[in-house]
Amino acid sequence: MKIAVVGATGLVGSKMIQVLEEQKVQIDELVLAASDNSIGKEIVFQGGTHQLVSVEEAIASRPDIAIFSAGGAASKQHAPRFAENGTFVIDNSSAWRMEKNVPLVVPEINADTITPETRIIANPNCSTIQMVMALAPIHRAFGIKRLVIATYQSVSGSGLKGINQLNHEETYKSQPNTPNSESMPAYPHQIYRNVLPHGGDFCDNGYTTEEEKLVNETRKILRDSTIAITATVCRVPVTGGHSEAVNVETLKPFEIAEVRRLLETTPGIVLQDNPAENLYPMALTSFDRDEVFVGRIRRDFSVGNGMNLWIVSDNIRKGAATNAVQIAQYIIRQFFMR
């Protein structure tokens, strides 16, 4: 089993390597590819040293699986070249997510969309992954009519640039003209002690690309284009972990106790919902965890079949690296271990 990680030195790529080791994924040969300025550097994996190679060398090595976290442009350029060699490509960018013949996969929900002929698989957006993990069992049981979503997304969703900007502003208390201030381009405004109603780029319709991902990707993963969805994405001064307030209107009536039982028995979900003890999901306690945490479950009395959920997860792990590794594990089990 030969596995390549493309974009191995980035925030998510590094976490992918860590999760591959944690999950003890069967790997006989690991190929780590990075940009030209990183070629030749070394990374330790499972006690051994691995030298970073170019993308061209990685393609030539013909890996069984290539996990991409190198940005959309690199994925568009190189993913098809890996695929032509018979490699299963798992791509973490938005480049392929809405392509009709490319599966958009959260393994606990729709791994069956991957076939032996599939060659490019898209990893969903981080905020989408954690949300559909909680919504999928509800949709199966009661049908979802409408979603109203507000997200509170950490700066790590913007990569190292976002983390660096927050750390820089916190260190210098946002004073202008401080050292290295010109290297903090993640956001158009201060993020320290601030909340920005701005994730991604603004579209002509007034929504952002991050908000549109929540709409389109959710419908694709849940295989239901009829769900009405509206979203507001906010960036908050938190280093890791995305939080979401999700209002759900279902087609069928439900009891809150039923919803709790569904979520408690869903693999990958941890129920944290005891307000009397101040127990509810938080970014702080979800950090560096692979599960999706759900709490503040309560009925919305303003509509017939409404409920509110608070959903939190580590966006770098389950929202990116862990989900991609889980897809790789599924592919190994289904297509390489028969």
Q: What torsion, rounded to 10 degrees, do the Cα atoms 265, 97, 224, 264 define? A: 10
CA dist 256 → 132, 259, 300, 336 (Å): 18, 5, 10, 42
Catalytic residue among 50, 139, 168, 242: 242
Q: H helices then E strands: how many in the chain?
A: 10, 13
Look up 50 and say whether it is catalytic.
no
Distance (Å, whole) CA 166 – CA 90: 30
Look up 203 and say whether it is catalytic.
no
Contact 317, 290 (CB under 8 A): yes
CA atoms in the 13 A half-sphere facing the CB of 276: 0
The residue assigned the tokens 């070629």 is: 39
CA dist 187 → 128, 197, 235 (Å): 21, 11, 9
Residues 6+ apart with CB under 8 A from 205: none
Catalytic residue among 50, 78, 126, 139: 126
Distance (Å, whole) CA 104 – CA 223: 10
Coil vs helix vs strand at 281 = coil
Q: Which of 261, 271, 267, 253 is nearest to 307 (CA)?
A: 253
Give the active site residues.
126, 242
